[in-house]
Amino acid sequence: MYLLKINKIEVPKKEIIKIEIEGEVDVYTSIELKRELNEIIDNGTKKIIINLDKVTYIDSSGLGVLVAILKRIRKEKGNLKLLKLTQNVKKIFEITRLTKFFEIFEDEEKVLKSFN
């Protein structure tokens, strides 16, 4: 089961989109995720938080989507940050060394403050 929830968070003088993903991000669901994220960027959003606390599994195609979106948004002078990785997902990020490329937070308040 894959469910993509998009919540817009209003922060004074900042516009941040928070995306909550639930379920498995794999070869079957990553296409939809990529489409949704690209649409958000196309609409002018430059600051994205992706909450992964309800993601039970992510495969290489899901990781590929996150890396591609991170590259795109940084090229457009924005940023993407990750929030609350589950233990399984965190382990995959550590094994693939993606923890060096993504800013990962456990606290929503801290991730909001990190956008300058």
> pLDDT tens digits for 56-100?
899 999 999 999 999 999 999 999 999 999 999 999 999 999 999
What pTM was estimated for this model as a whole?
0.90
- Tokens in use for 97? 């060394």
- pLDDT exceeds cutoff 90 at 11: no
116 located within any domain: no
56 located within any domain: yes
Q: For residue 70, what are the domain limits? A: 2-111
For the residues 35-62, what does the mean pLDDT come to? 93
User: What's the sign of the alpha-carbon dihedral 83, 102, 112, 114?
Assistant: positive
- pLDDT exceeds cutoff 90 at 4: no
For the chain, what percent of residues have pLDDT higher than 70? Answer: 88
Strand order in the sheet with 47-58: 2-11, 14-25, 47-58, 79-83, 103-105
Q: What is the domain-level CATH number for residue 73?
A: 3.30.750.24
Closest CA to 69 of 116, 15, 17: 17
Please count the structural domains in the chain: 1
Do residues 19 and 37 touch, judged by C-beta distance below 8 A?
Answer: yes
